[in-house]
Amino acid sequence: MIVCSICHTNNHHLAVTCSSCGGYLQTRVDTLDLFSTAWRVIERPFKAFHTIAIARHKNYVLLLSALAGLAIVFTLFWAITAARYAESTLNILIAGFVVGPLFGIVLLLFLSILIVTIARVFGFHTRMKGTFAVVAYASIPWVFIGLFIFPVEVLTFGTYLFSNNPSPYTIKPLSFIVLLILHGTFALWNLLLLLVGIRVLCDASWQKAIAIWSISIAIICGIFYGTLQLLLVAR
């Protein structure tokens, strides 16, 4: 809650103007600059997510979702050892670049709807637009994976990256473990940023933020797992 200094009305903690008298409660930025906002998400995530949630224009949200989608899709291709289903590595790369961006936007939009819905069950009112923006900026670690880690993985393992015959681990065990730890750390960082984002959006206690966060992630993981099982059975 944020209390209006003019009329003392209680307002939502992310409100910019008072619901009663229209007085200004907090200043907000008009537009989000991609690089400085991304840097603030790394440096001071609580402040950054607050700025993002109340910014007038949520710039770069679709771009970040699309880039994160690419990295997530290629990680899924690796997890299901996509080489079993594709003619060549080039086909896997083309499929990823075609499907990834839209997949990222749909996935992060769906995750935002989940968070808004589950937060409401817990009694927190969060806006869809602000939630989607926070979720997209929280996925910056996936953008790093896509830009820096994935190219190294492709260059290191070549056609064996998506294969289990032989697996990339068999080809270069040490490189595989190092890259897997890096990849996993960045993915984990995304999940932690998401938790911070939910706490900022809801102004909730850690316990309730963790509850909303874990239920949302469990539902997404359940859908992924179910879909993969269906795809594997279908073959």
Name the residue nearer to Zn ion (CB basis): 2 or 113. 2
Instruction: Looking at residues 202 to 221 of the shown chain, list those that interact with Zn ion (rule: CB under 5 A).
Output: none
Name the residue nearer to Zn ion (CB basis): 7 or 102. 7
Q: Which residue from 1, 2, 3, 7 is in contact with Zn ion, where contact means CB under 5 A?
A: 7
Could you write out the three-class secondary structure of 55-110? Answer: CCCCCCHHHHHHHHHHHHHHHHHHHCCHHHCCCCHHHHHHHHHHHHHHHHHHHHHH
Among 107, 108, 106, 114, residue whose Cα is nearest residue 133: 108
Instruction: Quote the radius of gyration of the chain (alpha carbons, Å).
Output: 20
- The packing angle between helices 173-202 and 45-54, to 10°, is 50
What is d(CA 225, CA 12) in angstroms, rounded to the nearest whole number? 37
Work out how close the CB of 9 gets to Zn ion at its nearest, in angstroms, rounded to a whole number: 5
Tell me the window of 2-10, 27-35, 200-208, 213-221 that interacts with Zn ion (CB under 5 A): 2-10
Residue 17 DSSP symbol: B
Map tokens 């032989």 to a residue: 166
Q: Which residue from 4, 82, 133, 136 is in contact with Zn ion, where contact means CB under 5 A?
A: 4
Work out how close the CB of 13 gets to Zn ion at its nearest, in angstroms, rounded to a whole number: 15
Measured at the CA of 112, the angle between CA 19 and CA 125, to 5 degrees, comes to: 30
Binding mask 9-48 for Zn ion (x = CB under 5 A): x--------x-xx-x-------------------------
Work out how close the CB of 10 gets to Zn ion at its nearest, in angstroms, rounded to a whole number: 10
Name the residue nearer to Zn ion (CB basis): 14 or 135. 14
Q: By CB under 5 A, is residue 107 in contact with Zn ion?
A: no
Provide the 3-class DSSP secondary structure of residue 24: strand
Name the residue nearer to Zn ion (CB basis): 3 or 98. 3
- What is the total count of residues that contact Zn ion (CB under 5 A)? 8
Query: Using CB under 5 A as the criterion, which residues of the chain lie in contact with Zn ion when the complex forms?
Result: 4, 6-7, 9, 18, 20-21, 23
